[in-house]
Amino acid sequence: MNKVFKNADEAIHDVTDGMTLLLGGFGLCGLPENCITALVKKGVKDLTCISNNAGVDDFGIGLMLKQRQVKKMIASYVGENAEFERQLLSGELEVELIPQGTLATRCMAAGYGMPAIFTPAGIGTEVAIGKEIRNFNGKDYLMEMAFDADFAIVKAWKGDTMGNLIYRATARNFNPVMAMAGKITIVEVEELVEPGELDPDHVHTPGIYVHRIFQGVNYEKRIEQRTTRQHDQKS
């Protein structure tokens, strides 16, 4: 099976209207920038996007929101995107907010072939409305379904042509668990190498989870919030 694609446009060629996408990243770190750009250019719409957050107005998933491509957003944090807020308050966008740990574990459940998980997170809150609750050893747990996504779209630092992946530092975030969870997993990497060039002990995602891979270009790697302090110039 040849997993290598030329670029993002080719890798996402069969993403169509109405599909459900898992998109890796945390804040603006570790985003599949090339694939998001390709999705914007392709103009697919009515998408359900599952991601930790919705990007910002002019970067990440925010670019897709700006083009009205997202019908429903499933996320843990959405506080940095004014366009997201506008669409939510106007009723244009359906939103499901879920605890961050639940988001990660629902990805893992999909990767492991489990239909559902039980978690105490969300008990007694709006998160639990309409969901099954079971009691184990005197404690209530909320049943959450594993994600059922058509595609997982993630970014890694290095990968080989067999799909083995290495992530770098905090850009690792949600990418490994989402890579496990899609029916088809598309990966963009900063460096694509031949099999045997990656140290097996350093591989975070084995190639069995990866269906398509390509070497990305022109990564902006924007910093969401930059905090600095004055240099102490003591004499």
Q: Which tens digit of pLDDT belongs to each residue from 143-169?
A: 999 999 999 999 999 999 999 999 999
Domain extent at residue 57: 8-114+148-215
Q: Which residues contact 40 (CB under 8 A, 6 or more apart)?
A: 63, 64, 67, 69
Does 89 reside within a domain? yes
Q: Which residues of the chain have pLDDT under 50?
A: none
Does 231 reside within a domain? no
Does 232 reside within a domain? no
Does 130 reside within a domain? no
Does 228 reside within a domain? no
Does 134 reside within a domain? no
The CA–CA distances, whole Å, from 73 to 26, 164, 204 equal 15, 29, 27
Q: Is the pTM of this model over 0.95?
A: no
Query: In the chain, pLDDT over 90 holds for what percent of residues?
Result: 85
Contact in structure between 160 and 187 (CB atoms under 8 Å): no
* 205 bridge partner residues: 165
pLDDT the model gives residue 231: 75
H helices present in the chain, as ranges: 8-11, 33-42, 61-66, 82-90, 100-112, 175-181
* 118 bridge partner residues: 143
